[in-house]
């Protein structure tokens, strides 16, 4: 299976439309005010007007359920990505409203057994680099650590992925590897994506 592509951290209207022309499978919008890629006062119509083939994804960090549900309605989100300490019960409340992607920061000391409680209440896991910033650090983690992942739930791979990682991505044979999540390594400034680099990345991946 060829991995799907998620381009995250979008905010500028013109840049959003340029990225949308590349037809990524997912496009992510940071709903976390603490992020330098926070969506801010972006006009909802920019998001709702995107092609139905692009799964618009709201990225949250310990937001209230009410705020997440309001954002799903306001932006007509197809997926939500949870980067905080959201519980399995919290995830259950969102099932059926949008795809639920639960993110976990991976480090040498990560305990993969914590994922078991989420297995049946999320659609996907997302494995990112463990940082205090809840992602978007531009730093990668040792993918060999995923050998400790024993569940069958498909996952997104994130964390400092850039053009130079294409050969490694092409070598991954794990059937659970569902999508690649890219962000800061393709930026000219926070929330501004380099279209040429993304075009090249997508082209190289399609050759795998």
Closest-CA residue to 78 (of 48, 56, 95, 101): 56
- The whole-angstrom separation of Cα 179 and Cα 183 is 13
What is the 8-class DSSP label of residue 156? E
Query: How many Cα atoms sit within 13 Å of 40 on the Cβ side?
Result: 11
- The whole-angstrom separation of Cα 96 and Cα 110 is 29
Instruction: For residue 93, count other CB atoms closer than 10 A to its CB.
Output: 15
**Residue 6 in contact with residue 156, Cβ under 8 Å?**
yes
- The whole-angstrom separation of Cα 13 and Cα 43 is 8
- Active site (catalytic) residues: 8, 128
Q: Hey, CA dihedral for 26, 11, 191, 123, is it positive or negative? A: negative
**Residue 105 in contact with residue 81, Cβ under 8 Å?**
no
Residue appearing with tokens 């990345």: 201
Which tokens belong to 2? Answer: 């060829």
């Amino acid at each position: 299976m060829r991995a799907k592509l998620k381009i995250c951290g979008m905010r500028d209207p013109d840049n959003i439309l340029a990225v949308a022309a590349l037809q990524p499978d997912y496009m992510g919008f940071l709903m976390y005010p603490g992020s330098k890629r926070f969506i801010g006062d972006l006009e909802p119509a920019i998001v709702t007007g995107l092609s139905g083939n692009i799964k618009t994804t709201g990225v949250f960090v310990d937001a209230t359920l009410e705020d997440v549900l309001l954002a799903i309605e306001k932006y007509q989100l197809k997926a939500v990505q949870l980067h905080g300490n959201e519980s399995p019960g919290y995830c259950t409340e969102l099932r059926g409203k949008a795809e639920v992607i639960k993110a976990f920061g991976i480090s040498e000391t990560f305990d993969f057994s914590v994922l078991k409680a989420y297995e049946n209440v999320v659609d996907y896991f997302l494995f990112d680099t463990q940082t205090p910033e809840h992602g978007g650090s531009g730093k990668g983690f040792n993918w060999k650590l995923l050998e400790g992942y024993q569940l069958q739930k498909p996952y997104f791979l994130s964390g400092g992925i850039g053009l130079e990682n294409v050969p490694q991505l092409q070598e991954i044979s794990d059937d659970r590897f569902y999508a690649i999540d890219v962000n800061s390594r393709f930026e000219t400034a926070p929330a501004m994506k380099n279209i040429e680099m993304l075009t090249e990345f997508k082209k190289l991946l399609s050759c795998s």
